[in-house]
Amino acid sequence: MGQNIDIESVHYQRFITHLKFFAERFFADKMLIDDNSKLFETVATAYPKAMEVAFTIKDYLTTVYDKKMTKEELTFLIVHINRLRNAQEIDLKNKK
């Protein structure tokens, strides 16, 4: 993401918790499925930097495990990445 991440922050812990549950669903072939393309489009448009990171993760998982991520999982990943990015930016501003 091009920034330092405070691994002691609550925001990081929330992100890791999301990743753990995502990994469980991904490897158990029980990913969340919802055809809400509008939500995905809204989130992807609103958070382009987080979307780039999420698509990098999606592409990696597709290449390594030959499994696709659902749009709903991708949407939630974008939201969580954006929350982490914003929290880190706010924390850095407050430390200055």
pLDDT in tens, 9-66: 888 898 999 999 999 999 999 998 877 789 999 999 999 999 999 999 999 999 999 9
> Average of pLDDT values for 73-91?
84
Between 63 and 89, name the one with better pLDDT.
63
Q: Which of 96, 79, 85 is nearest to 9 (CA)?
A: 85
